């Protein structure tokens, strides 16, 4: 069924688990996420980022995801990941996304608060939920995200921000990176505990790729309810595609994309199972 991010986050809270938010930008990624969710019998969030707009038409993507979601045996929600332009947020709201992430992390704190408030009023008046990020994550290997400065979330600042802006869920920067880690992953669980103590809305972890299972489970037990995954799935798919191409250089595109989709289903299924906590 096609549902909202809010419903999936509530389910995650009730079951002390985290819902996987997979970055999706074409038919294969959406179908893989939904089929992996069905195999694991757990809902999934389809997260489309502003940076994919040129490649994949936002409105068409939303319509496609809605149909796939409606046919699914599990709850499926559509979320707008990292967005910097109000125009994209407006398009997402008009196209059926149930939640949007406004990323004002590159702005001054004051500007971020001001613009986030505006996004919240716009979204809430349309029944859409808002995710924001306090702190800024570094970029690791193989990521297509914007570069951040690695600033960790300050619990007091985050609590003030949530109260002031009325956002619905918050991404905290606690040591994960966008993409694959260059060094050893080291999540700041004490910091997460301090943040969770001061904030009563669902917490989000970006940069799930390559984070060891025990560190993920510990974060879930401390209140992480949504985990974003992108690079790890992409890497698995392109590795398999490279293998297929080396064996059969002129493989039909449909067969190559089927290979990618099957690989992503396997990878996403394992991730969803881990996020059950």
Interface ranges with Zn ion (CB under 5 A): 206
Cβ proximity to Zn ion: between 116 and 259 the closer is 116
Name the minimum Å distance from CB 80 to Zn ion.
12
DSSP 105-129: TTS-HHHHHHHHHHHHHHHHTTT-E
Name the minimum Å distance from CB 265 to Zn ion.
23
Name the minimum Å distance from CB 173 to Zn ion.
10
The residue to which tokens 């796939």 are assigned: 68
Name the minimum Å distance from CB 92 to Zn ion.
16
Question: Counting every residue, how long is the chain?
Answer: 277
Distance CA 266, CA 215 (A): 21
Distance CA 239, CA 174 (A): 29
Selecting among 81, 103, 149, 214, the annotated active-site residue is: 81
As a dihedral over the C-alpha atoms of residue 264, residue 269, residue 275, residue 277, rounded to 10 degrees, the angle is: -160
Cβ proximity to Zn ion: between 79 and 206 the closer is 206
The residue to which tokens 């949504």 are assigned: 226
Rg of the chain over Cα atoms, rounded to whole angstroms, equals: 18
Cβ proximity to Zn ion: between 171 and 194 the closer is 171
User: Cα–Cα–Cα angle for 270, 271, 275, nearest 5°?
Assistant: 120
Q: Is 141 a catalytic residue?
A: no
Residue whose Cβ sits closest to Zn ion:
206
Cβ proximity to Zn ion: between 42 and 206 the closer is 206
The residues annotated as belonging to the active site are: 81
């Amino acid at each position: 069924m096609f549902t909202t991010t809010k419903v999936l986050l509530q389910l995650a809270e009730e079951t002390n688990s985290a819902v996987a938010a997979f970055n999706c930008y074409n038919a294969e990624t959406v179908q893989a996420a939904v089929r992996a969710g069905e195999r694991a019998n757990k809902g999934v969030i389809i997260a489309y980022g502003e940076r994919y707009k040129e490649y994949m038409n936002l409105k068409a993507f939303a319509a496609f995801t809605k149909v796939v979601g409606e046919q699914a045996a599990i709850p499926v929600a559509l979320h707008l990941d990292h967005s910097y332009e109000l125009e994209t947020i407006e398009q997402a709201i008009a196209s059926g996304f149930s939640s949007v992430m406004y990323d004002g992390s590159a702005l001054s704190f004051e500007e971020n608060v001001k613009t986030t408030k505006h996004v919240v009023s716009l979204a809430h008046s349309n029944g859409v939920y808002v995710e924001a990020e306090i702190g800024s994550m570094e970029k690791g290997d193989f990521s297509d995200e914007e570069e951040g400065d690695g600033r960790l979330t300050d619990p007091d600042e985050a609590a003030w921000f949530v109260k002031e802006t009325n956002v619905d869920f918050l991404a905290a920067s606690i040591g994960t990176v966008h993409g694959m880690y260059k060094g050893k992953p080291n999540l700041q669980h004490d910091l997460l505990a301090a943040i969770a103590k001061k904030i009563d809305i669902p917490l989000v972890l970006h940069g799930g790729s390559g984070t060891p299972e025990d560190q993920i489970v510990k974060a879930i037990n401390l209140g992480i309810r949504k985990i974003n995954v992108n690079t790890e799935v992409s890497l698995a798919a392109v590795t398999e595609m490279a293998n297929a191409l080396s064996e059969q250089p002129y493989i039909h595109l449909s067969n190559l994309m089927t290979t990618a989709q099957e690989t992503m289903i396997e990878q996403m299924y394992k991730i969803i199972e881990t996020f059950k906590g």
